[in-house]
Amino acid sequence: MKFGNTLEDYVHSSEPHTRSGMLLLESARRLRIRPDDAAEIIKPYTVYIQRLPVPIMGRVVNLISGIVLHNRARGPYKGGIRIAKDVDIWETTELARLMTLKTALADIDLGGGKSGISIDLRALYAAMRREKRFLGEFREFARIAKADIIIEFTDQFGWLFSGRHYIPAPDMGSGAEEMVRIYNATLDPASVTGKPDGVEGWLPGRTEATGYGVWYAVLKDMERRGLAPDQCTAAIQGFGKVGMHAATALQGSGVRIVGLTDLTGGIYDPGGLDTLDVAAHYARHGSFNGYKARSLTSKRLFGLRVDYLIPAATGHVIHAGNADRVQARVIVEGANMPVTYDAMKILMEKNVDIIPDIYANAGGVIASNLEFRQALGGQRYTLPMTFAHIRERFDATYDAMKSLMKKGRTMTEASIDVALQRVHQTMTERDLLSR
Ligand code: GLU
């Protein structure tokens, strides 16, 4: 029943069909959750769209930013700050929704939110160079510009963070260097997670956490299939925090990493790449350029005959146009929604299994939860404790999905079912759904 405008009526715009929206509706049907309840769970609670006039190197650059607070039935809104060229409010909304599902699936006391700040840093860098305002390297420019952006962002939204209402963290385009700016403004260790080592309330292992979780999810999968790690191959798209740590950990367990790519190119070695050596090169040069190995494009990487294909860069990279070429046994979603809804259906027909994002990349937010609790409670966690906690949450999550998978559901379906069931139950208990 409708007693007033919906958000769509109110903003005169409607969210495009999204993968998480479709998967949630299908899941609601399986769980016999009322469609009205499902629709209310799919939609966000709060959407902020905020202009940020950021002074960067003597120039004011007006940026657009947004925060979507999707659901806080189970705990404070939680999710990263994405700084990228093409973010938009609907992408931020879907990412926030994924956080609601991810925190519920991991069964940690957090809800879901996300921030998106839209900026083409490359274009701004070129302009600053032309105007001779900045003549250094791009990486240095990006570091300074992002600090200015986050300071302005915190000026506008600091009340949400210091109220511990929405607790941000790193995401694509942001990291510990950006999170510390938030801490500097709030002086509250529980207002942000992903703080750098040594800053009040920091957590050992937070940086590696997402890649560590991806590694653990893959190892558990091998165990389930009766595969030995040293008989398996993997190819990874993205060599940022997630891809790099996943690559080195998998190689450490004996897995042959045959291909690695990022936005600018990639490398290939069927005998297995030395990922620590690659990581050292990457840290120096910021890309694979100049590394002694055969070159590889992401297009070719997606078609490699490997056991595990791990897209760990960005969304929508495996779609209806290229899913047919996938020859991997399993796709592991290190990034958020790298496989589109249409591609999922194609892959299912090809018998390519998917280890879904809300499970595979949950290591980050699981560690964030520990960092948040540590800041609240004042205790200190060690690196082994962080990693043990991630493994324990992955084991419990896997057990919760296993009984549904035995009934024939895919792991994606099982993950959404477990998460939706939990969110729905809490919202019912808290009397948050229309009746
Ligand atoms: N950005 C990460 C994610 O998408 C981590 C979020 C957090 O730790 O709050 O899961």
Q: What is the CATH number of the domain that holds 159?
A: 3.40.50.10860
Last residue of a domain, one of 304, 325, 355: 355
> Ligand 1: which residues within 6 Å by Cβ?
78-80, 102, 169, 171, 193, 336, 361, 364-365, 368
Give distance in angstroms: CA of 84 to centre of ligand 1.
15
Alpha carbon 414 to its chain centroid, in Å, reads 19
The answer to whether 232 and 308 have CB atoms below 8 angstroms apart is yes
Neighbour count for residue 378 (Cβ, 10 Å): 8
Domain co-membership, 23 together with 123: yes
Q: Which of 95, 365, 370 to mutate to test the pocket of ligand 1 (most atoms within 8 A of CB)?
A: 365
Asked which of 338, 355, 372 is the last residue of a domain, the reply is 355
Ligand 1 pocket, mutate which of 83, 103, 115, 171 (most atoms under 8 A from CB): 171
Q: Is residue 58 part of a domain?
A: yes
Catalytic residue among 78, 102, 114, 241: 114
Give the CA distances from residue 107 to residues 42, 142, 206, 211, 265, in Å, rounded to whole numbers and listed in that order: 19, 36, 18, 19, 38
233 in the same domain as 305: yes
Same domain for 80 and 162, yes or no, is yes
Q: Is the pLDDT of residue 11 over 90?
A: no
In a domain, 265, yes or no: yes
Q: Look up residue 319 and give its two tokens.
A: 């779609």
pTM: 0.96
Amino acid at 131: E
CATH number, position 330: 3.40.50.720
- From CA 105, how far away is CA 414, in angstroms rounded? 10
Residues 15, 142 within the same domain? yes
Q: How far is CA 428 from CA 22, 113, 244, 312, 431, in A?
A: 22, 20, 41, 35, 5
Structural domain count of the chain: 2
In a domain, 400, yes or no: no
Q: Pick from 92, 208, 210, 357 the residue to mutate for probing ligand 1's pocket: most ligand atoms within 8 Å of its CB.
A: 210
State the closest ligand 1 atom to the C-alpha of 102, by its place in the atom list counted from 1.
10
Tens digits of residue pLDDT in 374-425: 999 878 999 999 999 999 999 999 999 999 999 999 999 999 999 999 999 9
Nearest CA to ligand 1 atom 9: 79
Tokens of 312: 């760990």
pLDDT at 12: 81
Tell whether 384 is covered by a domain: no
Question: What's residue 2's pLDDT?
Answer: 66
15 and 128 both lie in a single domain: yes
> What is the per-residue pLDDT across 162-207, written as a single tens digit (0 to 9) for each?
999 999 999 999 999 999 999 999 999 999 999 999 999 999 999 9
Confirm if 367 and 391 have CB atoms less than 8 A apart.
Answer: no
Q: Is the sign of the CA dihedral 18, 23, 24, 28 positive or negative?
A: positive
Q: Are residues 168 and 297 in the same domain?
A: no
227 and 163 in a single domain? The answer is no
- Per the annotation, the verdict on 241 as an active-site residue is no
How many angstroms from the chain centroid is the CA of residue 254? 26
Domain of 65? 7-28+44-186
